[in-house]
Chain A
Amino acid sequence: MKDELQIAMADLDEERTLMLVEERVKAGYSSGEIIESCRRGVEVVGEKYSDSHYYLSDLIMSEEILKGVMRILEPYIPTNGAVKGLSIVMGTIEGDIHDLGKNIIIYLLRSSGYQVHDLGVDVTPERFIQAVNETKASILGISVLLSFCIGSIKKVVDLLVDAGLRDKVKVVVGGYPVNQEVKEFTGADFYANDVTEAMKIYREILEIKENLV
């Protein structure tokens, strides 16, 4: 790993990362090249998280640094950025306003080039169905922290069946209270309690779907 920007990003050195980005913009690098260096840095951050070298505070820091990078690059980014074909809908279920886990997953997926439609928090089952319908998403990710909101996730899955969309989308539930029992109760396809598990699931689904496309 010799790319200084990638290293600074992976080391979560905010000052140095932003300085290098400014330098590269001046030196005539394209926004795509700069983003690619940062993305590789973020990839290292993700690996370090999986290996327990980095923790949540470090992931949040990396997200913050990347936001700073994007602020610098915004004027230079072509409007039609290339993204991978598959799209994902995510949101926190109705009655719940916790979004830490959801935001981290969205950030990691987007930095891997996937298109994620973030519905925000306190999302009604009807809104989830509408979004899946509109975006033709391959994956629906539902985040939950408060266990009593889990009933609404079941409603989302039931509505997907009613709308004839159940076979078209994989449902992943994520959050502190989910487990095998919750997966079975809601009718979801997968569950994850942490970022590493969730990313593994998303990658596997996306790889399978990409091969089918």
Chain B
Amino acid sequence: MNEKEMLYQKRLERYITAMDCGKPDMVPVAFGVGEWITKYTGTTLQEIYYDLDKSTDVVSEMLPGLDFDIFKGGPALWWPPMFDAMGSKLYKFPGIGVDENSTFQFNEQEYMKAEDYDEFIASPTEWLVNHYLPNISTELENPGSYRSTVALIKGAAAFAMQGGIMAAAWGKWTVENGIVGQGTGFTKAPFDTLGDALRGMKGVLLDLRRRPEKVLAACDAITPHNVNCGLAGPGADTRFPCFAPLHRGAYPFLNPKQWDTFYWPSLKATIEGMWAKGKRMLFYAEGDWTPYLEKILELPDKSIVFQIDTTDAKKAKKILGGRFCLQGGVPTTLLTYGTPEKVKEHIKRTFDELAYDGGFILDTGGVVMGDAKKENAIAMIEAARKYGIY
């Protein structure tokens, strides 16, 4: 084993021990190279999004010398050419629809109408192919047509190309730096699949009162697909958690009765379905989940890693600690408005409060945006090593 391989093994053990609620040799640290990097590289965000070589190069240049454990990835979340190939209406990307240095934005619409529920529930995939794809993509408006077929092939080819390029880049980053990738696979809460992608937020929130039985039936229909999505993408891997960004379950979107009735049962079933196959979820609880911590205790031990964004961290530790690994501790705004000294003080305090008995991974609470300062991001890693030894 060379030096980097040994480093990888050590970091992997640290990560897995923490996820199993144990106490490793030191607090594992997660780190990602966010959009903020473009301020320091002389590139526009548009270049970073469209040119995969450029976006992987800036990461390759940044990583050497940084001592952290878990890598969350580079600055471009999407590769727009795949969406462009299908004439996708879903996103505005840097330079197209928004300023070249502005981040991407989701164009939320009711891509599924209230009257579509029955057909969707009867056969979700069939409905997506016949109606959703034509609704979200100008090139796919006429399924089965020459134009639509070519656009599908182009989109699929772009997806495969991106996958190949990113896999090679992750391989290189891992081998050269001995860092561990955060997760494998992706899924969502069924209610979020329905709300984010299909009915839109307002649509789904009004449905809760206007057609509640349809919402429940749709969430039930989506659940097996979301279990499969979390498992099939990563193939057989069960070492690393499946990423699940969670949205409408945050306080205060749904009232407690709605949360219990509409949000939780199908999310719980998704988690249990994956856990039955040994797959853990990175429960990426964006926003504030404080009122629901007790309900989350219903999940099997260790079946999730709970991400603390604006959830009350001390309460999360008190209620979930020991049962589930907690991840987070650094507010994203601290990386923007703080100073390296403030970041260091904060991390020392966070470790005292949240990490003392293990089962904790240091990370930023949510997605770090383009306004963060590099010196604060570096200070976070350095402080974690200084104060994080058990």
- B371 near A151 (CB under 8 angstroms)? yes
How many of A's residues come within 8 Å of B, CB to CB? 27
Q: Which residues of chain B are near A64, meaning CB under 8 Å?
A: 206
- Do A176 and B253 form a contact, CB below 8 Å, given A95-B98, A95-B102, A146-B369? no
Question: Within the complex, what minimum Cβ distance (angstroms) separates A38 from chain B?
Answer: 17
Question: Within the complex, what minimum Cβ distance (angstroms) separates B131 from chain A?
Answer: 25
B201 within 8 A of A: yes
- B205 near A148 (CB under 8 angstroms)? no
Complexed CA–CA distance, A147 and B34 (Å): 13
Q: Which residues of chain A are near B332, meaning CB under 8 Å?
A: 147, 177
Q: Which residues of chain B are near A54, meaning CB under 8 Å?
A: 255
- B206 near A179 (CB under 8 angstroms)? no
Interface members, chain B 274-322 (any A CB < 8 Å) = 287, 310
- B255 near A58 (CB under 8 angstroms)? yes
Q: Which residues of chain A are near B210, meaning CB under 8 Å?
A: 14
Interface members, chain A 59-105 (any B CB < 8 Å) = 60-61, 64, 95, 97, 100
> B287: which of A95, A147, A176, A185 is its contact (CB, 8 Å)?
A176
Among B92, B332, B371, the most chain A Cβ lie within 10 Å of the Cβ of B371
A181 within 8 A of B: yes
A56 within 8 A of B: yes
Q: Which residues of chain B are near A56, meaning CB under 8 Å?
A: 205, 252-254
> A182: which of B102, B254, B258, B333 is its contact (CB, 8 Å)?
B333
- B103 near A148 (CB under 8 angstroms)? yes
- A55 near B370 (CB under 8 angstroms)? no
- B370 near A60 (CB under 8 angstroms)? no
- A147 near B336 (CB under 8 angstroms)? yes
- A57 near B103 (CB under 8 angstroms)? no
- B336 near A61 (CB under 8 angstroms)? no
Q: Which residues of chain A are near B35, meaning CB under 8 Å?
A: 148
Complexed CA–CA distance, A176 and B309 (Å): 12
A12 within 8 A of B: yes
- A182 near B337 (CB under 8 angstroms)? yes
Complexed CA–CA distance, A177 and B337 (Å): 11
Q: Which residues of chain B are near A185, meaning CB under 8 Å?
A: 337
- A100 near B255 (CB under 8 angstroms)? no
Interface string of B168-205 (1 = CB under 8 A from A): 00000000000000000000000000000000011001
Question: Within the complex, what minimum Cβ distance (angstroms) separates A104 from chain B?
Answer: 11
Query: Chain B interface residue count: which class?
Result: 20 to 34
Question: Within the complex, what minimum Cβ distance (angstroms) separates A179 from chain B?
Answer: 6
Complexed CA–CA distance, A146 and B35 (Å): 13
Q: Which residues of chain A are near B333, meaning CB under 8 Å?
A: 147, 177, 179, 181-182
Question: Within the complex, what minimum Cβ distance (angstroms) separates B265 from chain A?
Answer: 17
**Which secondary structure dominates where chain A touches chain B?**
helix
Complexed CA–CA distance, A19 and B27 (Å): 61
> A194: which of B205, B252, B254, B255 is its contact (CB, 8 Å)?
B252
A8 within 8 A of B: no
Interface members, chain B 354-371 (any A CB < 8 Å) = 369-371
- B371 near A55 (CB under 8 angstroms)? no
Among A57, A60, A148, the most chain B Cβ lie within 10 Å of the Cβ of A57
- B255 near A97 (CB under 8 angstroms)? no
Complexed CA–CA distance, A70 and B375 (Å): 53
B150 within 8 A of A: no
Question: Within the complex, what minimum Cβ distance (angstroms) separates B334 from chain A?
Answer: 9
Interface string of A1-37 (1 = CB under 8 A from B): 0000000000010100000000000000000000000
Complexed CA–CA distance, A95 and B99 (Å): 8
Question: Within the complex, what minimum Cβ distance (angstroms) separates A75 from chain B?
Answer: 25
Complexed CA–CA distance, A57 and B204 (Å): 9
- A57 near B254 (CB under 8 angstroms)? yes
Complexed CA–CA distance, A194 and B98 (Å): 27
Complexed CA–CA distance, A52 and B259 (Å): 14
B383 within 8 A of A: no
- B369 near A147 (CB under 8 angstroms)? yes
Complexed CA–CA distance, A95 and B206 (Å): 28
Q: Which residues of chain A are near B209, meaning CB under 8 Å?
A: 12, 14, 61
Q: Which residues of chain A are near B105, meaning CB under 8 Å?
A: 97
Q: 20 interchain pairs (CB within 8 A)?
A: A53-B255, A55-B251, A55-B252, A55-B256, A56-B205, A56-B254, A57-B205, A57-B258, A60-B206, A95-B98, A95-B99, A146-B103, A147-B332, A147-B333, A147-B369, A147-B371, A148-B102, A148-B369, A148-B371, A151-B371
Q: 6 tightest A-B contacts by CB?
A: A148-B371, A55-B255, A57-B205, A181-B337, A148-B370, A55-B252
A148-B35, A148-B370 known; 7 new pairs, CB 8 Å cut-off, are A14-B209, A53-B255, A55-B252, A60-B202, A95-B102, A176-B287, A185-B337
